[in-house]
Amino acid sequence: MLLVRFFPREFNFFDAFDDHVSLAVEAAVFFKDLVSKREVDEVALGKMQTIEHQADEATHIIIDQLNKTFITPFDREDIHALAKELDDIVDTVATIVNRMKVYRLTGPNKNLIEFAAVIEESVRAVASAVQGLRHVKNAKAISKCCVEINTLENVGDSMRDRVLAELFEIEKDPIVVIKWKEIYENAETILDICEDVANVVESIVVKQA
Amino acid sequence: MLLVRFFPREFNFFDAFDDHVSLAVEAAVFFKDLVSKREVDEVALGKMQTIEHQADEATHIIIDQLNKTFITPFDREDIHALAKELDDIVDTVATIVNRMKVYRLTGPNKNLIEFAAVIEESVRAVASAVQGLRHVKNAKAISKCCVEINTLENVGDSMRDRVLAELFEIEKDPIVVIKWKEIYENAETILDICEDVANVVESIVVKQA
Amino acid sequence: MLLVRFFPREFNFFDAFDDHVSLAVEAAVFFKDLVSKREVDEVALGKMQTIEHQADEATHIIIDQLNKTFITPFDREDIHALAKELDDIVDTVATIVNRMKVYRLTGPNKNLIEFAAVIEESVRAVASAVQGLRHVKNAKAISKCCVEINTLENVGDSMRDRVLAELFEIEKDPIVVIKWKEIYENAETILDICEDVANVVESIVVKQA
């Protein structure tokens, strides 16, 4: 057991994070395709749940190995935070999809299409940043991704303010306001989580410098 | 002072967690009884606040001892997370009770009765899992509790989706929608927190293996 | 580089936290002035964003130095939590101001004026507590601040319950209910965050005893 702890031959945290962040990208791409459709059907909901469960599993594998492993490629709390936040990205996409179904929202909604495009861009930058952690020499490229993620978070803030102002000004049905307010806020939250990932990634890079 | 730090004779973290988790069970049982009544009166609110304050106190005692103690039975960050999340269970039950009073909700509401039953079940499983931490030989029984907690969280997700869909379809008064949406979402959140506790407990067990 | 890590001559965490907490006070004072006005205009929004960016920057500087520094005046996780929560205070004030603009709320609103006064008081107590960390001999004065912060959090809870009950009883327009419910809840959240800061400060003091 002790030997396994010190020499976990078969487990590579970088590979595990590559798998994890690929699921986040898959969720973002799926979401972008979905919001251009008329509605969320059972097939789409099932597909989303599959990605969500795979991301849960990927998180669980990383945390479990972290608990069993003595020597890690970067700080334990950063591994923990990274796994948790990549999972949060997928969970929040899944929450939106779920609510679109529960609220029987029909589309396509041009604001959500815009959000989904920014989300995909940001999650792809997250993927590049996380994949870059494998080599210290990538520091500059990683930093560029993090700057992009921060910019996209600001874009998301402005978008949310604009679409909420519009929603409260134009929409007269309070039930519709409740539904879309929640969807838009969750969409913006995904960009916040991407920014949290960027912060963890930057911490890891700084510590390795 | 230093001697006290190294030999905290009188403090036992397992006893303290037993006390803490008993308060979570007390809150869950109280909540289950309450939701079968017509309304939340001052007496019920007072009883709930008493449990909440006791849980705050239990949390405070654990964190305080953690800060004063050098050697702990399991990882410091797990003790911290466990104390925090048990407190969150009680706080969220208290939030629901409080809002039922503030919103002058009258019942009984069959959906909330269903939620309260699942919550009680989950919190009892949380209690068994936490109490099991005292002995490494309980690993299998603890694992069984954690699986149950995860299952109940899934049950809660489906319940929330069903009752929210129903609420938005049937209820025409937006103010009523706002009130019950919040109550149902908080009820489901308690099951999420139970799952978080299960994750911490599993981490502790894995590290001790 | 290694020398820099061990002897970060130019960086002082206490000075950095003084700067950070001053921005929280600035935000609270600005907010108290703002809520007595008729509405949030572009100038006010710009001023708020400036404070928010400065607080972001102050947080970033502390985290960055934490990552580069080997020896810190108190536990690393406490430095991290403190920086994060001071930033959350400013962010939540900014969120309220932003929503007042997005929702085109006009005032002054007497409930929000009351909240802003309690928030300013609490943030000033937070400032005293954080600034006190510089000297162990301040333990008693710090403790007094923390008690005050806890008291003000209870005051905020009661206020929120009272104003929400009033809002749901009197206001017949659901859209208006949605807007002010969010504002009031965010106002109370600031007092919760102040309490979180008090808890971290108390942990730091206990560990130094």
Taking the CA atoms of A47, A49, A54 and A58 in sequence, report the sign of the dihedral they define: positive
Kindly state the DSSP code that residue C168 receives in the 8-state scheme.
H
Give the C-alpha separation, A19 to C53, whole Å. 34
Cα B94 from chain centroid? 10
Per-residue pLDDT, B3:
47
Distance CA C142, CA B137 (A): 44
- Distance in angstroms (rounded) separating the CA atoms of residues B144 and B147: 5
Mean pLDDT for the stretch of residues B105-130: 97
Q: Which of B161, B178, B207 sits opposite A67 (nearest CB)?
A: B207
Given a cut of 60, whether residue A3 has pLDDT beyond it is no
Residue A104, by phi and psi: left (phi above 0), alpha (psi -120 to 50) or beta?
left
Question: Residue A2 carries which side chain, given as an amino acid letter?
Answer: L
The CATH topology of domain C13-208 is: Methane Monooxygenase Hydroxylase; Chain G, domain 1 (1.20.58)
Which CA distances in Å does B58 have to A176, B9, B22, C123? 43, 18, 10, 26
Nearest-CA distance C155 → chain A (Å): 29
Q: Which residue has the tokens 């403190």?
A: C82
For residue B4, pLDDT beyond 60: no
Facing A175 at nearest CB: one of B168, B199, B209:
B168
Measured in degrees and rounded to the nearest 5, phi and psi for residue B172 equal -100, -15
Q: What proportion of chain A, given as a percentage, has pLDDT over 90?
A: 89
Residue to test with chain C: of B65, B102, B104, B106, most C Cβ within 10 A: B102
Q: Is B5 a residue whose pLDDT tops 60?
A: no
pLDDT of residue C21: 98
Q: Which residues neighbour C127 within 8 Å (Cβ) at sequence distance 6 or greater?
A: C21, C22, C24, C25
Span A57-76, average pLDDT: 93
**Total number of residues shown for chain B:** 209
In CATH, what number does B12-203 get?
A: 1.20.58.220
Check if C179 contacts A (Cβ < 8 Å): yes
Cα(B173)–Cα(C7) distance, rounded to whole angstroms?
64
The 10 Å Cβ neighbour count of residue B76 is: 13
Q: Which residues of C touch B63 (CB under 8 A)?
A: 199, 203
Cβ-in-10-Å burial (0-12, 13-18, 19+) of C170 comes to: exposed
Instruction: Provide the pLDDT for residue C7.
Output: 52
C107 confidence band (pLDDT: 50, 70, 90): confident
Question: What is residue A209's predicted lDDT score, i.e. its pLDDT?
Answer: 79
Q: What is the dihedral of CA B155, B21, B85, C187, to 10 degrees?
A: 100
pLDDT at C147 over 70: yes
Q: Which residue has the higher pLDDT, A136 or A188?
A: A188
Residue A209, chain C, CB below 8 Å: the answer is yes
Residue of A nearest to B161 (CA): A102
Neighbours of A130 (CB within 10 A): 25
Q: Which amino acid is at B119?
A: I
Place of tokens 């604001």: A111
Q: What confidence category does residue B150 fall into, taking pLDDT thresholds of 50, 70 and 90?
A: very high
Alpha-carbon distance of B148 to B199, in angstroms, equals 12
Q: Helices in chain B by DSSP H: which ranges?
A: 2-6, 13-34, 42-68, 76-102, 110-132, 139-170, 174-208
Q: pLDDT tens for residues B76-98? A: 999 999 999 999 999 999 999 99
Phi then psi for residue B106, to 5 deg, are -115, 155
Q: Give, in degrees to the nearest 5, the angle at Cα C144 between C138 and C145.
A: 90
Would you state the structure tokens that stand for residue B88, as one six-digit string? 């969150």
Residues of B in contact with A8 (CB under 8 A): none
Three-state DSSP at C169 gives helix
pLDDT at B10 over 80: no
Tell me which architecture the domain covering A12-208 has in CATH: Up-down Bundle (1.20)
Which two structure tokens, joined as six digits, stand for C38?
């008729």
* Rounded CA separation B74/B153 (Å): 26
* Length, in residues, of chain C: 209
For C36, phi and psi rounded to 5 degrees? -85, -5
Cα–Cα dist B205/B67, whole Å = 22
- Contact indicator for B197, B84 with CB cutoff of 8 Å: no
* CB proximity B189 to A under 8 Å: no
Residues of C in contact with B179 (CB under 8 A): 168
Query: Which band of pLDDT confidence, cut at 50, 70 and 90, is reported for residue B2?
Result: very low
CA distance A144 to A146: 5
DSSP state of A40: -
Any idea where the domains of chain B sit in the sequence? 12-203
**Closest residue on chain B to C173 (Cα):** B175
- Please determine, for residue A9, whether its predicted confidence score (pLDDT) is greater than 70: no
The DSSP line for A2-33 is: HHHHH--TT--HHHHHHHHHHHHHHHHHHHHH
Q: Does A208 score more than 90 pLDDT? A: no
Chains that touch A (3 or more CB pairs under 8 A): B, C
Residues 6+ apart with CB under 8 A from A125: A145, A146, A148, A149, A152, A194
- Residues A152-205 have pLDDT tens digits of 999 999 999 999 999 999 999 999 999 999 999 999 999 999 999 999 999 999
Over 70: is that where the pLDDT of A111 sits?
A: yes
